[in-house]
Amino acid sequence: MARLPQWQTVLKQAGILLLASGLAATVAAFSISLDGPNVIQEGEIALADALLRQPPPLWIDARSEAEYRNEHIPGALLLNTEEWEALVTRVLEKWEPERTAVVYCSAPGAQASREVAARLRDFRLGPVFVLHGGWNVWKRK
Amino acid sequence: METQMMRWGKTALRIALGVLFLYAGGRKALDPVSFLQSIENYQILPYPAAVASAFFLPYLEIFCGTALALKRLHAGALALLGALVCLFIVALLTAWLRGLNIDCGCFGLGDGKAHYGAALTRDFAILAALGFLLWRDDSEE
């Protein structure tokens, strides 16, 4: 004969599991927002803040094409200073007005992404930020 | 009257399901941003809800999977996992009906291609197994 558990027991146990999951998820989300070794500088954005942007940010990968092809943030577009002319058109096609663009690279001091971000700001299409901690923060997430 | 063989079968099924959800949740928890991308691919949830889900759902799977495998709070875990699998099935069906060519994201990022038949068959099998365990619950908790 089948014995179903009492619904009060099911609800109580489910509540405990939901609470524990919520707490763990909060800690995980908070740990991502703490990523990056230094204080966020002007023009930079933390990964957690970028992910919460509405509409979702336009990710710009300022590394080399080889690095981009190896691995990149899903949906990111390649745009570096070496191949600027060839690559910028596609970025401008995808960049809707007011959508936040977030540039990342793996260079020390984020030099590549700072340069790309500076050039993108000249188009005045929307806010442009450099990802604080760059590609390494994404990999550590 | 349950035979010893049936009890062993139920125990093996419970542990296998627990480990499966533990594995699925663990992979997503280690890479929440890729899981966020998977959720976004379904184009169902608004972005903030997708971010919250990307952090919450993996831990729900981990806690429920652990509870199931260890047979602690497992009636609640069975009910929650059943509800979760129902949600996955609805999401898969709507994506299929809308003609989206997306990876299901069931175990983190996959090959990026849609395998709706296989994913739905697996989810229905898991749902049947969860329902069976809930129906034949012999917990003394």
Domain ranges of chain B: 7-135
Cβ neighbours of residue A138 closer than 8 Å, sequence gap 6 or more = A47, A73, A104, A131, B33
Q: Which residue of B10, B21, B30, B33 is the best one to mutate when testing the A interface, meaning the one whose CB has the most A CBs within 10 A?
A: B33
Domain ranges of chain A: 44-140
With b for 16 or more beta-carbon neighbours within 10 A and e for fewer, the B10-29 pattern comes to beebbeebbebbbebbbbbb
pTM above 0.90, yes or no: no
| Cβ contact B95:B106 at 8 Å | no
What does the pLDDT read at residue A3? 62
A27 in contact with B, Cβ within 8 Å:
no
pLDDT in tens, A14-68: 999 999 999 999 888 877 654 444 456 778 888 888 887 888 899 999 999 999 9
Residues from chain B contacting residue A4 (CB–CB below 8 Å): 134-135, 137
pLDDT in tens, A104-138: 998 767 789 999 999 999 988 889 999 988 888 88
d(CA B132, CA B126) in angstroms, rounded, equals 10
- Separation in Å, CA of B97 to nearest CA in chain A: 23
Enter the tokens of residue B26: 């663990």
Of A88, A109, A90, nearest in space to A44 by CA: A109
Which of 2.160.10.10, 3.30.1330.20, 3.40.190.10, 3.40.250.10 would CATH assign to domain A44-140? 3.40.250.10
Cβ neighbours of residue A93 closer than 8 Å, sequence gap 6 or more = none
d(CA B107, CA B23) in angstroms, rounded, equals 8
Cβ neighbours of residue B84 closer than 8 Å, sequence gap 6 or more = B57, B60, B61, B64
